[in-house]
Structure 1
Amino acid sequence: MMRIKANKIIDSIKIEVKAKVDAYKIKGIKPTIQTIIASDNAAIKPYILSKIKQAANLGIAMKVIELGSNKKHEAFEALIRVSNNDKSIHGIIIDLPIRNDLDQNQVLTIIDQKKDIDGLNPLNQALIQQGQENKTICPAAPQACIKLAETIDLLSGKQVVVIGRGPTVGKPLATMLINRNATVTIVHSRSKNLAHTLRPAKFIFTATGQPGLLNANNVTARHVIIDAGIAYKNDKLVGDFDVEAANKVMAYSSVPGGVGSLTSVIIFSNLLKCMNMQGYF
């Protein structure tokens, strides 16, 4: 059993980002992110606070606007359009999930493709599906999952399972794994016999927000668990994998300290790629 640590990857990305940010500042450009919050999900708050702190440490400005609970979808769209047109804003983040009364798909369509730090605009998603990741912005959480997995082994030719088919992790992750020539099985809420499906896989990527979904009853010594789930259990931030079963698997990433921590840094690499797409060099 080995705990997969993100520290070295995080430190490497920070050094690269800080150097580029400093170079922009010499030219009189301050990389700036606009974050718009329209969620009542408490589980995202630690992630937002982490982003704000890390942005400041890297010299990146992060502006945060919270859509009031009395504001309707039209006001949300207006905020995004203002950010799209503001040349001092180089990247936009919509912290998901958003409230149920707001149209998430429509919101993601409105974000300027070249400012879409999370890579969820349909145009960016289409380029990923076409295998053209170098020409688009890839979602940060799937990138983090892949980087952590590759500390253990190459993904090409490996059997992998992705648990969850959400728009921010599961769906784009499955496509990005296929782009790396992995053999991918997707498990979702209608899937049957989880343990049987997991058995032949080497890598298991999970992102459901269901604590204990992966446990001693369905994991084996051949499994590498990459946990992107986020939930609270007894006021503690946890993932989908029950760490009590850690001695049953080959390796696992922990929550917190794994995918989430790495994701919080990769978004700043995505910001720099957005700026490159906008013509900043």
Structure 2
Amino acid sequence: MIIDCLALAKKLNDYNLQAVKELNQRGIAPKLCEILATSNAGVLSYAETKKRQAAELGILYESFIFDHDSSIDTVLEKIRQLNRDENVHGIVIGLPVFAHLDSDLLLNEIAQYKDIDGLGSKNTSAIFANHEQSAIAPATPAAALYILESLSAISGKKVCILGRGRTVGRPLLEMLINRNATVTVCHSKTAAIDIEMAIAQSDIVMTAIGMAGTVKSEWFKAGQIVIDCGISFVDGKTSGDVNSAELSDLGVFVTPVPKGVGAVTNAMIFANLIKAVDLQ
């Protein structure tokens, strides 16, 4: 069964729209600012998507563009200015940035409750300590769990995560443990036979590899839930880590790519912004 992620994204955006209206009634105009120090076409295109969606929700959006010659100090100073600006409620950084810029330094400069991507050390530490309510979680893991929790309780379930990256796999591990799941993590150094075994023993599989064709359909069985957070491009088309059509035919509940986790992530960014306003 293909999971209808567009319906879930709409539900979340309906919440966002109502929350923005309520903030406006309190005299608050939520504003998101984005640092763009990159020439990556995908990042710049995604920034335009955020700008458009912000407008649809009644959220203010402003981007700050830095060219390749910009120094780390110049970008840091802009972040500090935005931290001090009470009319700015959220800051995101379009990743990856230019190679000479330290992304960790930039992310950690963002004030905790303006860190809408939840990738700074203060938010990641809070999640590690099971203090998610007082933190901002990374949008993609939060979206993946939003989808999962619409289908099934997580507590007590066996979950296999494929991938250990900073933006998805690692925070997913902590967030699943916070929800009392039993978690196995597989990565690039895990043997294929061990990945197959881990999948076979799991109720839920969450993938974040970014390489189409790596995860074989025959490793899955009917009744499992697969949340595919991976994105890659094959013959000019967007693909996930798994073949969602094949898995659906096997009786697996699976998110599609595109129009899957990414759609919910887009909505989750603005849900994070609304949470940030409340935390501030």
CA distance change for structure 1 residues 232 and 41 in 2, over 3 Å: closer, same or farther?
farther
Separation in 1, partners of 2:120, 2:22 = 28
AA of the residue aligned to 1:107: L
* Counterpart for residue 230 of structure 1: 231
Instruction: Return the alpha-carbon distance in structure 2 between the equivalents of residues 117 and 217 of structure 1.
Output: 38
Deviation at 1:45, TM superposition (A): 4.5
Identify if the C-alpha distance between structure 1 residues 21 and 224 changes in structure 2 by more than 3 Å, giving closer, same or farther. same
Offset at residue 125 of structure 1 (A): 1.0
For the residue of structure 1 that corresponds to 2:14, the secondary structure is: helix
Q: 2:261 aligns to what?
A: 259
Structure 1 match to 2:277: 275
The answer for unaligned runs of 5 or more in structure 2 is none
2:208 maps to which residue? 207
> How many Å separate the matches in 2 of 1:257 and 1:263?
10
Which position in structure 1 is the counterpart of 2:107?
Answer: 108
Post-superposition offset of 1:52 = 1.8
Is 2:146 aligned against 1:147?
yes
Shift of residue 99, structure 1, vs aligned partner: 3.1
Structure 1 residue aligned with 2:198: 197
Aligned pairs (5 A) from 1:1-281: 2-193=1-192, 194-246=195-247, 247-278=249-280
- Range 94-103 or range 137-146, more displaced: 94-103
Q: Distance in 2 between matches of 1:224 and 1:12?
A: 21
Q: Give the TM-score normalised by structure 2.
A: 0.92
Mapped to 1, the partners of 2:184 and 2:73 lie a distance apart of: 38
Partner Cα separation in structure 1 for residue 23 and residue 11 of structure 2: 19
CA distance in 2, matches of 1:3, 1:47: 25
Runs of 4+ residues deviating >6 angstroms: none
What residue identity is the alignment partner of 1:132? H
Q: Across the two proteins, how many residue pairs are aligned to each other?
A: 277
In 1, distance between residues paired with 2:6 and 2:244?
A: 19
1:4-44 deviation line (CA, Å, top 9, x unaligned): 11233222222222222123323433111001123344444
**Does the 8 A contact of 2:38 with 2:67 survive in 1?**
no
- Give the direction of change, closer, same or farther, for the CA distance of 1:49–1:242 in structure 2 (3 Å limit): farther
> Which deviations, in whole Å up to 9, do the C-alpha atoms of 1:91-122 show, x marking residues without a partner?
00112233332212211211100101111121
Q: 1:3 to 1:45 in 2, by over 3 A?
A: farther
Root-mean-square deviation (CA, aligned residues, Å) is 1.8
Q: Are the equivalent residues in 2 in contact too, given 1:213–1:242 (CA < 8 A)?
A: no
Q: Is the 8 A contact 1:36 1:66 kept in 2?
A: yes
Instruction: Provide the rounded CA distance (Å) in 1 between the counterparts of 2:250 and 2:71.
Output: 48
Cα shift at 1:207: 1.2
Q: In structure 1, what residue type is equivalent to 2:200?
A: R
The 1:152–1:226 alpha-carbon spacing in structure 2 relative to 1, beyond 3 Å, is: same
Report sequence identity in percent: 35
Amino acid at match of 1:200: Q
